[in-house]
Amino acid sequence: MDISKVREQAFAMPLTSPAFPMGPYRFTNREFFIITYRTDPEALRAVVPEPLQVRAPLVHYEFIRMPDSTGFGDYTESGQVIPVTFRGIPGSYTHAMYLNDHPAIAGGRELWGFPKKLATPRLQVSLDTLIGELDYGPLRIVTATMGYKHVALDSAATAAQLADTPNFLLKIIPHVDGTPRICELVRYHLQDVTVKGAWTGPAALALYPHALAPVADLPVLEVVEARHIVADLTLGLGEVVFDYLN
C-alpha cells in the first residue's frame, strides 16, 4: 500500500479494518436516565480542567441506552457529566463514561476524546421503577432508581436544552514515548434532536468506591432532580477550542 493510499484510508485503527465506520452517527430511540445531584465543590474543582470553570456544585449522573446507533450498534453507557462554563458560556464537561461496546469505546476516544472505559451498565424498567445499574467487573458501583414516568416534561424545551448546550471533552492521545502528542479541549453539540418523550419523578442514587472506577470520588450529598428522556439525535463531530500543548 503506497503512502497516498495510507493517508486516504487512515481515519481510524486498524488501518485495513477500522473498529468503527465514518459518520455521521445517528441515534434512534436513545434513552437517557439522568439524576442531578449536589456534591463537594472542592472535589469538582479537583477534576475539572482549566480553562473550564465549575458552574455549580452539581453532577449529572447519566445512564444512556442506545438500541440503534449508526456504526456503533446496540449498547449502553453510564457516567458523570459536570455543569461548567467556558469563557462565560454554560456547558457540560464529560468527566467519566463506562460502557459495554468496543466500537463505541474506540470511536468515542479516538474521534472526540470521550473518557470511556469498558464496564457493564444496564438500564431497564421493573414494574413501576426505572433502574440504572453499573458494574465494573463483578462489583456493583452505581445503583440509580426513579419512579417510572410520574410527571411529563415539555418535549420541545427538553429538545432545545439538549441541542443548545455545548459539551466539552479533554482529548488525550499519547506519543510513542508516553508524553502527550494531543491534549485538547474539544467542544461538540447534539444535532437534529427530536424528543419523543420526557418525564421526571422521585429518584435515588448510590455510588460505591472502586479503585479504577472512582465514581464515588464525587459523593452524593443530595439528589436535586431526575429526568427520563427518549430521543432521536445525531452526535455532532467536535471542534478544538483549547490546545494545552500550544
**Looking at residue 93, which CATH number applies to its domain?**
2.40.400.10
pLDDT averaged over every residue in the chain = 97
- In this structure, the number of other CB atoms found within 10 A of the CB of residue 43 comes to 14
Give this prediction's pTM: 0.96
Rounded CA separation 196/79 (Å): 23
Rounded CA separation 185/245 (Å): 11
Average pLDDT estimate for 121-133: 98
Q: Residue 231 falls within a domain, yes or no? A: yes
Q: Residue 150 falls within a domain, yes or no? A: yes
**Gyration radius of the chain's alpha carbons:** 18
* Residues labelled catalytic: 116
Q: Which tens digit of pLDDT belongs to each residue from 70-95? A: 999 999 999 999 999 999 999 999 99
- The boundaries of the domain holding residue 82 are 20-243
Are 135 and 116 in contact by the 8 Å Cβ rule? The answer is: no
What per-residue confidence (pLDDT) applies to 86?
Answer: 98
Dihedral Cα 89, 59, 136, 127, nearest 10 deg: -120
Confidence class for position 190, pLDDT limits 50, 70, 90: very high
What per-residue confidence (pLDDT) applies to 105?
Answer: 98
Confidence class for position 239, pLDDT limits 50, 70, 90: very high
Residue 229 Cα to chain centre, angstroms: 15
Domain total for the chain? 1
Nearest to 136 by CA among 203, 65, 204, 216: 216
Q: Residue 103 falls within a domain, yes or no? A: yes
Q: Residue 7 falls within a domain, yes or no? A: no
Amino acid in the structure at residue 189: H
Q: Residue 83 falls within a domain, yes or no? A: yes
Q: Residue 27 falls within a domain, yes or no? A: yes
What per-residue confidence (pLDDT) applies to 2?
Answer: 94
Residue 59 Cα to chain centre, angstroms: 12
DSSP state of 17: S
Q: Residue 87 falls within a domain, yes or no? A: yes
Q: Residue 216 falls within a domain, yes or no? A: yes
Q: Which tens digit of pLDDT belongs to each residue from 37-62? A: 999 999 999 999 999 999 999 999 99
Nearest to 129 by CA among 225, 26, 228, 240: 228
